[in-house]
Amino acid sequence: MDKTRRSFIGKGVGMSMALGFPALVRGKNLNGKVQVAAVGVNGMGFSDFSNIASHEKVQHVALCDVDLDRFDKAAEKAPTAKKFQDFREMFAQMGDQIDAVSVSTPDHMHALVAIEAMKRGKHVYCQKPLAHTVWEARQMRLWAEKTGVVTQMGNQIHSALEYRLGTRLIQDGAIGKVIEVHSWISVSGNERTRLLAPPKSGPVPKNLAWDLWLGCAPEREFAPEAYHPFVWRDWQDFGGGGLGDFGCHVLDPVFTALKLKAPLSVVADNSGINEHVWPVNETVRWTFPGSDLTAGKTLNVTWTDGGLKPARKLAKMPPELDLPGGGSIFIGEKGNMVLAHVAAPRLYPADKFTGFSYPDVGKKPIHWHRWVDAILGGEKTTDGFDYAGWLAETVQLGNVATRMATRPADSRGGHNIDPAHGATLLGWDAANMKFPNHPEAEKLLTKIYRKGWEVPAA
Ligand SMILES: NC(=O)c1ccc[n+]([C@@H]2O[C@H](COP(=O)([O-])OP(=O)(O)OC[C@H]3O[C@@H](n4cnc5c(N)ncnc54)[C@H](O)[C@@H]3O)[C@@H](O)[C@H]2O)c1
């Protein structure tokens, strides 16, 4: 390894922090490529690996996956990268050679891997939903702030022209001040396994280090086709249901356009839930403080998933059109905007916007490359944890509210988010991370970590 480079990296962020420089100065001075480690290299991890590897200034030096059978595609493209099953071993052996880490594991391990990377001064690209709990989302933001590393959440559509145009239209006042927002996704929180409790265990495949896959989650036995790969999403111990899966995508342009941070309150109901799985569908409503972009002193953002959509008539679309499978309706004082997940924004009622001149939002940047460019001293990422942390907290707050709505998981019940009729409205004191009117719900802000796998507080 190049001696100058090694001595520079050896000083790393510790030096830049001590001198008060932002960490991205470090990237500018790298005399070679940004040396990246990928944690979770199949599924979305392969997309992250490939998109990061396609930057000419990147070299992958380490690949980590708990499943030996899932290395092949990435290993073929990065034959010199060293392979690991345990990310802790990877940091122990190669810490001084890694500049940046991409985290594409299941959700329950995001915060632990990302924070262990940030603690060591590594820049981090972390898949959505960034974290598994409200507390973890807060720690992600605080660790990024403390270490000054370059961060980006992996909700890549943040950089898509469709979303950039949608957020620009809201900020330019195309529909006037915003009265309310309705966001939805067709995906259900319990559609992969349709199980309601852990199934009978089965032998762990030789290629899989099950204990490492479990990581910080409570002990449970492996069962084929119940958790790994992909279907872990249905389980509260590993995923976040429909909202956890898509909230950081669909709500991202709502957050960017309206410059949202912490809500004032959240309330939810769902089709039925127990302590194991997420509901088939849910309705969540956050109330945010108003701003110069909103019509009222507060703004309601309502989320539905699992096949529930807002009333079509809210959008004022032409009769031949229907709402897309996912997206948001922004209802404004001068019109409405439907921003599909993912398609160009549409302004309604159509006759009001005939001949409307859409602004130019430039070329499509590559989300993954924006992170690498920022490491190399380029423009700051717009989806860093300083922004994404708030979005992730809000998504996880929705999941706390969902878990407070205790209809039995097999009831497929109706929805009631009206606090006047019994729904639990959680007032949110963001500064202190408290629900002053429902302290008993505060235990759901975090989770119990398996011994030895605790996420360090910032
Ligand atoms: N941005 C997007 O559009 C998008 C799309 C799909 C998934 N995702 C996100 O990507 C992440 C992965 O989802 P997926 O669908 O690819 O899941 P998956 O289960 O298919 O793949 C996860 C990969 O990580 C590996 N892995 C699991 N635990 C690990 C650990 N502790 N250390 C190292 N490797 C580990 C698995 O073996 C597997 O190869 C999730 O956070 C998910 O929310 C994002």
What is the domain-level CATH number for residue 419?
Answer: 3.30.360.10
pLDDT score recorded for residue 164: 97
- Given a cut of 60, is residue 91 above it in pLDDT? yes
pLDDT in tens, 435-444: 999 999 999 9
* Ligand 1 atom closest to residue 104's alpha carbon, by position in its atom list: 11
> Which CATH number fits the domain that encloses residue 150?
3.40.50.720
- Ligand 1 pocket test: which of 52, 63, 64, 66 has the largest number of ligand atoms within 8 Å of its C-beta? 66
Distance between Cα 155 and ligand 1 center (Å): 13
pLDDT in tens, 398-425: 999 999 987 888 777 778 888 888 889 9
Strand duo 326-332 + 336-340: pairing: antiparallel
Nearest to 191 by CA among 229, 241, 128: 241
Domain range for 97 is 3-156+369-382
Domain assignment of residue 20, yes or no? yes
Distance between Cα 232 and ligand 1 center (Å): 10
Distance between Cα 118 and ligand 1 center (Å): 19
Total domains in the chain come to 2
- Give the separation between CA 395 and CA 262, rounded to whole angstroms: 10
Claim to verify: residue 181 and residue 283 sit in the same structural domain = yes
- The pTM (predicted TM-score) of the whole model is 0.94
pLDDT in tens, 331-351: 999 999 999 999 999 999 999
Claim to verify: residue 231 and residue 146 sit in the same structural domain = no
pLDDT score recorded for residue 324: 97
* Ligand 1 atom closest to residue 44's alpha carbon, by position in its atom list: 16
pLDDT score recorded for residue 221: 98
pLDDT score recorded for residue 407: 83
pLDDT score recorded for residue 330: 98
pLDDT score recorded for residue 422: 81
Claim to verify: residue 416 and residue 279 sit in the same structural domain = yes
Domain assignment of residue 434, yes or no? yes
pLDDT in tens, 301-313: 999 999 999 999 9
- Given a cut of 60, is residue 278 above it in pLDDT? yes
Give me the mean pLDDT over the 159-185 stretch.
98
Distance between Cα 289 and ligand 1 center (Å): 34
Claim to verify: residue 73 and residue 170 sit in the same structural domain = no
pLDDT in tens, 189-228: 999 999 999 999 999 999 999 999 999 999 999 999 999 9
Claim to verify: residue 146 and residue 176 sit in the same structural domain = no
Claim to verify: residue 176 and residue 117 sit in the same structural domain = no
pLDDT score recorded for residue 364: 87
Claim to verify: residue 182 and residue 297 sit in the same structural domain = yes
Average confidence score pLDDT of the chain: 93
Nearest to 66 by CA among 52, 87, 81, 45: 87
- Give the separation between CA 315 and CA 312, rounded to whole angstroms: 6
Q: pLDDT-derived band of residue 31, with 50, 70 and 90 as boundaries?
A: low
Domain termination residue (choose one: 354, 382, 410): 382
Enumerate residues 6+ apart whose C-beta is below 8 A from 450. 214, 215, 216, 217, 218, 219
Report the nearest-CA residue for atom 4 of ligand 1.
Answer: 44
- Ligand 1 pocket test: which of 49, 65, 103 has the largest number of ligand atoms within 8 Å of its C-beta? 65
- Give the separation between CA 128 and CA 304, rounded to whole angstroms: 19
- Taking every pair of Cα atoms in the chain, the longest distance, rounded to a whole number of angstroms, is 68
